[in-house]
Protein backbone atom coordinates (compact mmCIF):
# COMPACT_ATOMS: atom_id res chain seq x y z
CA UNK A 1 0.00 0.00 0.00
CA UNK A 2 2.76 2.42 0.95
CA UNK A 3 4.55 1.68 -2.32
CA UNK A 4 1.45 2.45 -4.38
CA UNK A 5 0.98 5.75 -2.53
CA UNK A 6 4.63 6.66 -3.16
CA UNK A 7 4.30 5.79 -6.85
CA UNK A 8 1.12 7.84 -7.20
CA UNK A 9 2.77 10.80 -5.45
CA UNK A 10 5.85 10.53 -7.68
CA UNK A 11 3.71 10.37 -10.83
CA UNK A 12 1.65 13.37 -9.75
CA UNK A 13 4.73 15.35 -8.81
CA UNK A 14 6.42 14.59 -12.14
CA UNK A 15 3.46 15.84 -14.16
CA UNK A 16 3.06 18.90 -11.94
CA UNK A 17 6.56 20.08 -12.87
CA UNK A 18 6.10 19.83 -16.64
CA UNK A 19 6.70 23.07 -18.55
CA UNK A 20 5.26 24.15 -21.88
CA UNK A 21 7.26 25.51 -24.81
CA UNK A 22 6.24 29.08 -23.91
CA UNK A 23 7.27 28.65 -20.28
CA UNK A 24 10.56 27.07 -21.33
CA UNK A 25 11.40 29.95 -23.67
CA UNK A 26 10.66 32.46 -20.90
CA UNK A 27 12.60 30.82 -18.09
CA UNK A 28 15.24 28.40 -19.42
CA UNK A 29 18.72 28.78 -18.00
CA UNK A 30 21.85 27.03 -19.32
CA UNK A 31 22.70 23.89 -17.38
CA UNK A 32 19.22 23.54 -15.86
CA UNK A 33 17.00 20.57 -16.85
CA UNK A 34 13.27 20.88 -17.53
CA UNK A 35 10.44 18.42 -18.23
CA UNK A 36 9.06 19.73 -21.54
CA UNK A 37 5.49 18.68 -22.38
CA UNK A 38 3.63 19.37 -25.60
CA UNK A 39 2.76 18.06 -29.05
CA UNK A 40 5.26 17.01 -31.71
CA UNK A 41 4.76 19.23 -34.77
CA UNK A 42 7.61 18.01 -36.98
CA UNK A 43 10.34 15.39 -36.74
CA UNK A 44 13.19 13.90 -38.74
CA UNK A 45 16.15 11.62 -38.14
CA UNK A 46 19.80 12.20 -38.97
CA UNK A 47 21.70 9.04 -38.07
CA UNK A 48 21.10 8.25 -34.40
CA UNK A 49 19.78 11.75 -33.66
CA UNK A 50 16.11 12.68 -33.70
CA UNK A 51 15.24 16.33 -34.34
CA UNK A 52 11.71 17.44 -33.52
CA UNK A 53 9.66 20.47 -32.45
CA UNK A 54 7.35 20.51 -29.43
CA UNK A 55 4.37 22.89 -29.56
CA UNK A 56 2.90 24.63 -26.55
CA UNK A 57 -0.56 23.10 -25.90
CA UNK A 58 -2.03 26.51 -24.99
CA UNK A 59 -0.26 28.69 -27.57
CA UNK A 60 -0.21 26.90 -30.92
CA UNK A 61 2.17 29.43 -32.50
CA UNK A 62 4.88 28.69 -29.90
CA UNK A 63 7.20 25.69 -30.24
CA UNK A 64 10.77 24.75 -29.40
CA UNK A 65 13.30 22.64 -31.33
CA UNK A 66 14.69 19.54 -29.60
CA UNK A 67 17.73 17.41 -30.50
CA UNK A 68 17.42 13.95 -28.94
CA UNK A 69 19.53 10.81 -28.86
CA UNK A 70 18.25 7.77 -27.01
CA UNK A 71 15.42 5.29 -27.02
CA UNK A 72 12.30 6.44 -28.85
CA UNK A 73 8.91 5.01 -27.84
CA UNK A 74 7.09 3.08 -30.57
CA UNK A 75 4.08 5.46 -30.55
CA UNK A 76 6.28 8.55 -31.16
CA UNK A 77 5.11 10.49 -34.23
CA UNK A 78 3.98 13.93 -35.39
CA UNK A 79 0.79 14.93 -33.57
CA UNK A 80 1.56 12.87 -30.47
CA UNK A 81 1.78 14.43 -26.99
CA UNK A 82 5.22 13.89 -25.44
CA UNK A 83 7.25 14.66 -22.35
CA UNK A 84 11.05 14.87 -22.56
CA UNK A 85 13.72 16.12 -20.19
CA UNK A 86 15.65 18.91 -21.92
CA UNK A 87 18.35 21.47 -21.23
CA UNK A 88 19.13 24.64 -23.14
CA UNK A 89 21.94 24.50 -25.69
CA UNK A 90 22.00 27.77 -27.62
CA UNK A 91 18.97 28.18 -29.87
CA UNK A 92 17.99 24.52 -29.46
CA UNK A 93 17.13 22.27 -26.53
CA UNK A 94 18.91 18.95 -26.05
CA UNK A 95 16.87 16.02 -24.81
CA UNK A 96 18.50 13.93 -22.13
CA UNK A 97 18.98 10.34 -23.36
CA UNK A 98 16.17 7.88 -22.67
CA UNK A 99 13.74 10.45 -21.19
CA UNK A 100 11.32 10.72 -24.13
CA UNK A 101 7.83 9.41 -23.34
CA UNK A 102 4.53 9.66 -25.17
CA UNK A 103 1.13 10.37 -23.68
CA UNK A 104 -2.18 8.80 -24.60
CA UNK A 105 -3.49 10.97 -27.47
CA UNK A 106 -7.16 10.78 -26.53
CA UNK A 107 -6.55 12.18 -23.02
CA UNK A 108 -4.28 15.07 -23.96
CA UNK A 109 -5.41 16.16 -27.42
CA UNK A 110 -7.17 19.49 -27.75
CA UNK A 111 -10.19 19.67 -30.02
CA UNK A 112 -9.13 20.02 -33.66
CA UNK A 113 -5.57 18.89 -32.90
CA UNK A 114 -4.06 16.04 -34.97
CA UNK A 115 -4.64 12.60 -33.45
CA UNK A 116 -1.00 11.51 -33.52
CA UNK A 117 -1.43 8.99 -36.30
CA UNK A 118 1.31 10.47 -38.50
CA UNK A 119 4.27 8.47 -39.81
CA UNK A 120 6.40 6.61 -37.26
CA UNK A 121 9.86 8.20 -36.90
CA UNK A 122 11.36 6.42 -33.93
CA UNK A 123 13.17 3.71 -35.85
The predicted-structure confidence for 22-65, as pLDDT tens digits, reads as follows 999 999 998 899 999 999 999 999 999 999 999 999 999 999 99
Q: What letter would DSSP give residue 122?
A: -
Given a contact cutoff of 8 angstroms between Cβ atoms, the answer to whether 79 and 97 are in contact is no
Q: Which secondary structure element, helix H or strand E, spans residue 78, and what is its range?
A: none
Q: What letter would DSSP give residue 76?
A: -
Domain range 19-108, CATH class: mainly beta
**What are the sequence ranges of the domains in the chain?**
19-108
pLDDT of residue 1: 53
CA atoms 72, 75, 79, 81: torsion sign: negative
Cβ neighbours for 108, distance < 8 A, ≥ 6 positions apart = 57, 81
The predicted-structure confidence for 67-99, as pLDDT tens digits, reads as follows 999 999 999 999 999 999 999 988 889 999 999
CA–CA distance, 29 with 74 (Å, rounded to integer): 31
- Does the predicted model carry a pTM greater than 0.85? no
Amino acid sequence: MLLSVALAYTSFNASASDVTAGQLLAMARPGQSYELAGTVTSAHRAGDTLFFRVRDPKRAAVSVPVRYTGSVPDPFRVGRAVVVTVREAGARFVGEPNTLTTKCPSKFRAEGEPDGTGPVLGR
